Amino acid sequence: MVSRDEFVSRFGGVFEHSPFIAERAFHKGAVIEPLTSGGVHGALVEVFRAASADERLGVLRAHPDLAGRLAIAGELTEDSREEQAGAGLDRLSPAEHARFTELNGAYVTKFGFPFIIAVKGLGKDDILAAFETRIGNDRDAEFATATAQVEKIALLRLQSMLPES
């Protein structure tokens, strides 16, 4: 059986900088072995959805801006760096980077958290189109969309770490 420390060490970053989710899932006994991507995802998502609105907002705020200052400074988590690079966000033209910067600022001002999208399988044009569409949402709709995207990112990360269930 996997220990609490091992579980939190291994899965504490699946929800960006939010190890409390893995800690609570383990504490609840929601972790079923053998560990599979679907099983761990289900346990983590249950905890995420049961978290307070402020805690879920904190998880959203833990995500970096797409092609933002952390990316430029090389300070993204390894998962975020690989995800953004896979979508071509590390190879933006100056004009594209300026557009992402403008949208990031407007989005955070409007919603109070960064734009979040599961970028796997998407290119920079797909991401920009989603950005431009979603910035027109109201806060409740965008909070729901962003939390769904966080759950999708978590599943994709777990699928790269564990066998399918």
Out of 13, 38, 57, a domain closes at: 57
Q: What is the pLDDT of residue 129?
A: 95
Domain co-membership, 146 together with 75: yes
Range of the domain at 49: 4-57
Contact 48, 59 (CB under 8 A): yes
Give dist(CA 85, CA 62) in Å, integer: 19
Which residues are annotated as catalytic? 63
Give dist(CA 159, CA 38) in Å, integer: 8
Domain co-membership, 40 together with 68: no
**CA distance to 18, 50, 69, 73, 96, per residue, from 76 (Å):** 15, 27, 9, 8, 20
Domain co-membership, 91 together with 39: no
Per-residue pLDDT band at 105 (split at 50, 70, 90): very high
Q: What is the pLDDT of residue 24?
A: 96
- Count structural domains, the chain: 2
Dihedral angle computed from the Cα positions of residues 45, 51, 57 and 60, in that order, rounded to the nearest 10 degrees: -20
Q: What is the pLDDT of residue 70?
A: 47
Q: What is the pLDDT of residue 74?
A: 61
Q: What is the pTM of this model?
A: 0.89
